Amino acid sequence: MRALIVVDVQNDFCPGGALAVPDGDAVVEVVNRLASEAPFVVATRDWHPHDHGSFAAQGGPWPEHCVRDTPGAALHGGIDESQIDVVVDKGQVSDREGYSGFEDTGLERLLRERGVDAVDVAGLALDYCVKATALDAKRAGFDVTVHRSATRAVEVTPGDGERTVQELRAAGIDVVD
């Protein structure tokens, strides 16, 4: 069975958010379409404590974002939450990045219990959390497809998105438009 993993389509990663991904909200329509076609849908959320190590105030590279129980951590309002079967919170451990939906979450177990052997991955951001989730899914033995039209990259360095696509393909992950 296939499952869709919707990675971190949260307010703080969309225009106007604390760590907005350029054109991040453009993924919403495509994500909703993919979710309507998927037999099982998991959404991940960054769900950070106030003292998360990735925050600039703690010496990390990012502004404070997706602090649990704040509006910025909520899923984007355009996401059709009625299509989501399970929400998995990640990035809850202060001294761990938590980029991957598989890190400290039980996601692999959840997918195996549902008989999932292949995953489609969409969401934000391609060059960080989508990449980490897709690579961990592949390492766990799932067939993995990343939907390029349903992702956007942060592009800290210009070209990061395309370099990520090359890295994913080199790891045996299908990247489709």
Residues acting as catalytic residues: 8, 90, 129
Q: What angle do CA 68, 130, 82 make, to 5 degrees?
A: 60
Pairing of strands 174-176, 86-90: unpaired
Predicted confidence (pLDDT) per residue in 58-70, tens digit:
999 999 999 999 9
Q: Predicted confidence band at 77 (pLDDT cuts at 50, 70, 90)? A: very high
Name the one residue in this structure whose structure tokens are 């909703």: 32
Predicted confidence (pLDDT) per residue in 111-161, tens digit:
999 999 999 999 999 999 999 999 999 999 999 999 999 999 999 999 999
Q: What is the CA radius of gyration of the chain?
A: 15
Share of residues in the chain with pLDDT > 90 (%):
99
pLDDT confidence of residue 9: 98
Predicted confidence (pLDDT) per residue in 23-65, tens digit:
999 999 999 999 999 999 999 999 999 999 999 999 999 999 9
Q: In what order do the strands lie in the sheet with 174-176?
A: 86-90, 41-46, 2-7, 118-124, 143-152, 174-176
Q: 2-176 sits in which CATH class?
A: alpha beta
Share of residues in the chain with pLDDT > 70 (%):
100
Alpha-carbon distance of 45 to 20, in angstroms, equals 15
Whole-angstrom CA distances from 13 to 114, 115, 160 are 29, 31, 17
| Domain spans in the chain, listed from the N-terminal domain onward | 2-176
- For 58, other C-beta atoms within 10 Å of its C-beta total 14
